[in-house]
Structure 1
Amino acid sequence: MAVDLLNIARTGVQAAQSQLAVTSNNITNANTEGYNRQVASQSSLDSQFVGGNFYGTGTYVTDVKRIYNDYAVKELRIGQTAVSAAETRYTKASELDQLFSSAGQAVPQGLNDLYSSLNSLADLPSDLGLRANVLSQAEQLASSMSQMQTSLDGQMQQTNDEITAITERINAISSEIANINNELMKSTGENAQLLDAQDRLIKELSEYAQVNVVALDTGAKSVMLGGSVMLVSGEIAMSLSTTQGDPFPNDIKMQASSGSTSNRSGNSINVDIASLGGTLGALADFRDETLTPATLELGQMALGISDAFNSAQAQGIDLNGELGQNMFTDINASQMAFGRVGALSSNTGTANLSVNIEDAAALTGAEYALVFTSPSGYSLTDVASGATSTLTLNGNTLEGANGFSIGIDSGALASGDTFMLRPTAGAASGFAVVMSSPAAIASSTPKITPDDRNSGDTTLTLTSIDDTSTPGFPVTGAELTFSIDPTANTFEVFDVDGVSLGAATTYTPPSISAYGFSFDIESTATSSERFIFDLSQSSGDNTNALQMAALSELSLMNGGKDTLTDVYEKTKLAIGSETKTAEVGVTAADAIYAQAYARVQSTSGVNLDEEAANLMRYQQAYSASAKIMTVATEIFDTLYNSLR
């Protein structure tokens, strides 16, 4: 029995030593990220039947298990995805909110300063210094608008760079998980270290996107992103890549393919980044739902300012006695129109389209999808609201949109062709002052007076003052009266005394040119209409300057609902509200994540107090087993000596 006693003691020492090793490993890894507590399972050796009784033969460690709760870990991954998305959304919204609330305030302030300078000019309309100040304020406004657009473009580039960087990291993670899966498939037992490393990578992956995990019997795990993209299948890793957006290059898109990123032919699938969740989904959502609309609304404001001031200029006479010219870039100039139309790469037609702004007041800063289904079927859909309207083809122009028309400049459309339209895109970048001379500010207003007996069905628009030195040019005291017959397309002119200056003359609608100036006429009248013209320039006339200053109070935008400044302020308020909502979202997501983390830690985490108690218990067991070995040795020696 002494020999049996020694063997029992030996198994006890070995088992206690194993327990001490596992406990020590737990203690030393208490602060190791992703470490799962391990437990050594211990069992008795088979008993021996001796002298009519069964005697125990010792103990052994049957297994070292990794304490792991799959449901708790899945909950933690979901919480990690939510908190990463919330934090990203809040961070990006805060950056944009800060931009609109600080540096971006130069835009509305610049517009207010321009209004103020026009009010000053109205006091002394012939003062060249005050006129120069108006141009200076206009240039400052244009500079502020350009800087704001540059900042928004920078945020767009930064967001795309973040998406690309995360994509590259996901590819690295997928390769590492595939390698770990391969090692686990080859191992004969549970390799806790590899499994911990596997879980750490999957947890990191859950920061970037929603993760679905399928565990295999071998310990390997297949991983899906967003519930639709198979990233890792056993030891095979997929790869993600980013490419230029379609149809707008800055809206970068993502593809998934098997093998290396260079081998994407024939087996690539497009991935909806926004649907992935996590940081990636939040970045794409911020870019598409917040940053792009903010950019389009800034462009809407630029178009509104340009259209309002240029239209006001066209209604006045400058210091040189000429009809006012544009102060800012024309709303349909190439600089302002860049990026309004994008054709999908899947289109089979050859058509090239353009967008022409017809009424800046009717614009909303929205994005539209134009789909061609038949020669009479042009469907225009507001992407945000889903509202759909049918356009009418008039020649080569599609009409019926809100504030703009669509020109088919060349080529032909094929059934199913789709175009994305952003009517206000690029406007802030192209917004600039085109007026160079302070004297060109049209502070005076030409006096065109309709006769009291007119029908009211005629609209007259002065289009140019061609030559003020032309004999008979209408000035104060020498006004001209035009009698216009819109049914016969003729006009007759009378001097200030009512004397006819010649027989009736034919004209080609809608333009009439005579006596050094030109104007357009639109009329549904059935009898002659009379207008008195006085186109003299008065240095003290401030009428048009006052009208331009009064633009600050007019609701010119969004269908007559908002002033020019309101467009910016509403965008800023919307971003501020989104930022506050995102902040609340972070708090809620953090609370849910903390609960999930506590649950995982209660199961798999290392409790140092518990491990310290185990350390003492196994140390005592080790000492006791060692004492048994000493006793067994002493018994053997006593027996041996008694037989000598």
Structure 2
Amino acid sequence: MANDLFSIAQSGIMASQAQLGVTSNNIANVNTVGYNRQVAIQGSMGSQNLGGQFYGTGTYVSEVKRIYNEYAARELRIGQTGLSGAETSLTKLNEMDQLFSQIGKAVPKSLNDLFDTLNSLGDQPQDIGIRNAILTTASQLANSLNQMQSSLNGQMSQTHDEMKNVVGRINDISTEIAEINRELMKSAGNDSQLRDRQDALIQELSQYAEVNVIPLDNGGRSIMLGSAFMLVSSDQASTMGVKEGDPFANEIELTFRVGDTAMKLDASKLGGQLGALFDFREQTLLPASQELGQMALGIADAFNQMQAKGFDLNGLVGKPIFTDINDPTMAAGRVGAMANNTGNASLSVNIDNVGALSGGSYELSFTAPSSYQLKDSKTGAITPLTLNGDKLEGGAGFSIKIDAGAMASGDKFEIRPTANAASQLSVTLTDPKGIAAAAPKISGDAANTGSSVKLVSIDDRNAANFPQTGSELVFELDTSVTPPTYEVFDTDGNSLAVGAATGTPPQVSAFGFTFEIEANGGTNERFTFDLSFAPGDNTNAIEMAKLSDAKLMNNGKSTLADVFEQTKQDIGSQTKSALVRATTAEAIYKQAYDRVQSESGVNLDEEAANLMKFQQSYQASARVMSTASTLFDTLFSSLR
């Protein structure tokens, strides 16, 4: 019986020692990130039959169990993905909000300064100092738009760098998880330290993207990233990467490798930090850049058109102040051809009506033999286009020119009518005398049916019958024919000349000036020309100043300044929404975290109580062994 006591006491000591070891390990790892507390599970040894009675033979530790709740861990991963995505969005939107509030404030200020100097020119149209000030403020406005676009480009580069860093870390994690899976297979998944390391890596991975975990019978885990692709399959790790964007190379895309093939990854299916970075680029950064370009085009077009309507100090038709909105470099940069196109068409985009532009982007697709469709990337609305010669017409304020080559069925292009405008805007007028403060007087008869004329140039003010006040000329146009024809009358109704327009668009050069015709098919369209010039004339300068309040943009709904303010307000609204989402996501994450900690976390009060319990158990078992030793000694003494 003493031997039995020895065995029982020894088993109790060993079990208590194991319990103390597990408890001590829990206490030591109370601050270890990703550690799941452990418990030693004790069992009773088999009974022994002595004299018809069954006596216990002690205890043993059956297993050291890792306390882990898969459902709670899954909820924590989901909460982590949501929180990381929301926090990333908030951080990036805060940066944009500050950018528009600090650096961006120079844009509306420069525009207001330009209108202020134009008001001053209205008072003193001959003042060279004021004219110099107009060119200076115009340059400041162009520079502020250039700088703002440069800052947005910087945001783009920074966002791409963050994407690349995240992709690099995901690849490191996938490799390590695959190695852990390999080791866990050797122990059938019983190594708690490896399991903790595996869970910690999966939890970190859930910051970067949505994670779906697939337990394996061999103790490992396969990891699917979002609903996109298998990142880790058993002990094999896939590789993510980045490549140049299609169709715009500077807008990188995600890839994942299947064998030797790199496949494009749909970032919208990822979630987390990586998904938030792509959403920020697509939903905020690119639209803001294109809306800034919309404003730049509006400024250039409005002032250049006003210049073309007036006379400079030399009595000539005003030349553009800003870059031509259809500069060939700008026009070509508004189109991106998809890499898998089989045709060889080279396209450019011509802006026909700045006021009709939306600041959005479109997908142009071609289906043989003659179907051209334009899809709005934001609304999904599809517009059929008409091919007129080499020009596709029907876009909202723009047309698409096929410069060379031909499209093949299935070819697609991305169209961004306002792309790069803010970075390429510059002041092209250098002579302050070239500001067209004066204005000609060209009027159409009330009976006209819609045709219009536009003064192109003053060729010779000394030409015979050059139209001036008191000796105006009336041009009667027949725009129902191609090319339009005309007859000219003096103030007494005498016919002075007849002829036909030339060129495309049709122009008439006569009596020392040239004008352009926008034909509307009417006959007897009459226009009276008075091209008198006086250096003190401020008519056109006043009209230029009025542009500050003119609703020229977004189909007559916005002023030039409104375009910028609306973008700024939209970003502010997005930032506030992101703050609400981040606060909500944090609450959801904390709830999931607290649940995991309540089950798997180390509670020092509980462990301290266990420490005392197992210490007492150890001491009691040692006391039993001591008692057994005493009994054994007494038995031997009685036999001497």
- Structure 1: which 5+ residue stretches go unaligned? 259-263
Which of 624, 635, 643 does residue 639 from structure 2 map onto? Answer: 643
Question: Partner residue of 1:441?
Answer: 435
1:139-183, Cα deviation, whole Å (9 max, x unpaired): 010000000000111111111111111111100000000000000
How far, CA to CA, are the matches of 1:522 and 1:350 in structure 2?
Answer: 33
Structure 1 residue 448: Cα displacement? 2.3
Matched, 1:104 2:97: no
Q: 1:515 aligns with which of 511, 516, 540?
A: 511
* Contact map agreement 1:22 1:40 (CA 8 A) in 2: yes
8 A Cα contact 1:335 1:429, kept in partner: no
Aligned equivalent of 1:578, options 571, 574, 578: 574
- For residues 484 and 344 of structure 1, do their structure 2 counterparts lie closer, same or farther at Cα, with a shift above 3 Å needed? closer
Distance, in Å, in 1 between the alignment partners of 2:480 and 2:30 is: 96
Question: Which residue number in structure 2 is paired with residue 416 of structure 1?
Answer: 410
Normalising by the residue count of structure 2, what TM-score does the alignment of the two structures yield? 0.96
Query: Could you tell me how far apart the structure 1 residues matched to 2:531 and 2:76 are?
Result: 78
Compared with structure 1, are the counterparts of its residues 525 and 429 closer, same or farther at alpha carbon in structure 2 (3 Å cutoff)?
Answer: closer
Q: Report what 1:250 is aligned to.
A: 250
Q: Could you say if the C-alpha distance between residues 188 and 556 of structure 1 is closer, same or farther in structure 2, counting changes exceeding 3 Å? A: closer
Equivalence for 1:463: 456
1:544 and 2:544 are equivalent in the alignment: no
- C-alpha deviation, 1:496, in angstroms: 6.1
- Tell me, in whole angstroms, the C-alpha distance in 1 between the residues paired with 2:66 and 2:306: 78
**Aligned with 1:277 (options 248, 256, 271):** 271
Q: CA deviation at 1:543?
A: 0.8
Whichever residue aligns with residue 111 of structure 1, its letter is L
C-alpha contact 2:347 2:403 (8 A) present in aligned 1? yes
CA distance in 2, matches of 1:189, 1:420: 51
- Output the CA distance in 2 between the equivalents of 1:566 and 1:628: 89
Match of 1:5 in 2: 5
> Paired residue for 1:557?
553
Q: CA RMSD in A?
A: 1.9
CA–CA separation in structure 2 for the residues paired with 1:107 and 1:613: 67
Q: Which residue of 2 aligns with 1:261?
A: none
State the number of aligned residues: 636
CA distance in structure 2 between the aligned counterparts of 1:129 and 1:611, rounded to whole angstroms? 84
Contact 1:335/1:426 (CA < 8 Å) preserved in 2? no
Instruction: Give the AA of the match of 1:589.
Output: A
Contact 1:274 1:280 in 2 (8 A): no
Partner of 2:293: 299
Q: CA deviation at 1:470?
A: 3.8
| Secondary structure of the structure 2 residue equivalent to 1:108 | helix
Task: Tell whether the 8 Å contact from 1:370 to 1:421 is kept in structure 2 after alignment.
Answer: yes
Partner Cα distance (2:451, 2:213) in 1? 73
Unaligned stretches of 5+ residues in structure 2: none
Match of 2:126 in 1: 126
Offset at residue 335 of structure 1 (A): 4.3
CA deviations over 1:299-340 (Å, ceiling 9, x no partner): 111111111110111000001111011010010113433531
Report the secondary structure of 1:448's partner residue. strand
Match for residue 342 of structure 2? 348
Q: Contact 2:174–2:237 (CA<8 Å) still a contact in 1?
A: yes
Work out whether residues 227 and 269 of structure 2, in 8 Å CA contact, stay in contact via their aligned partners in 1: no
Partner of 2:85: 85
Q: Deviations over 1:251-283 (max 9, x none)?
A: 21111114xxxxx63x33221012101111111
Maintained 8 Å contact 1:336/1:428: no
1:629 equivalent to 2:622? Answer: no
| AA aligned opposite 1:464 | S
Taking structure 1 as the reference length, what is the TM-score of the superposition?
0.95
Residue of structure 1 in register with 2:170 after alignment: 170
Amino acid at match of 2:467: P
- Specify the alignment match of 2:605 in structure 1: 609
For 1:321 and 1:427, the matched residues in 2 are separated by 31
1:326 aligns with 2:320: yes
- Pair 1:28-2:22 in alignment: no
* Whole-angstrom distance in 2 between the partners of 1:566 and 1:134: 22
The corresponding residue for 1:141 is: 141
Matched, 1:398 2:388: no
Letter of the structure 2 residue corresponding to residue 463 of structure 1: V
Matched, 1:187 2:187: yes
Q: In the aligned structure 1, how far is the partner of 2:63 from the partner of 2:478? A: 107
Mapped to 2, the partners of 1:133 and 1:468 lie a distance apart of 29
Query: Displacement of 1:479 after TM fit?
Result: 4.1
Kept in 2: contact 1:362–1:402 (CA 8 A): yes
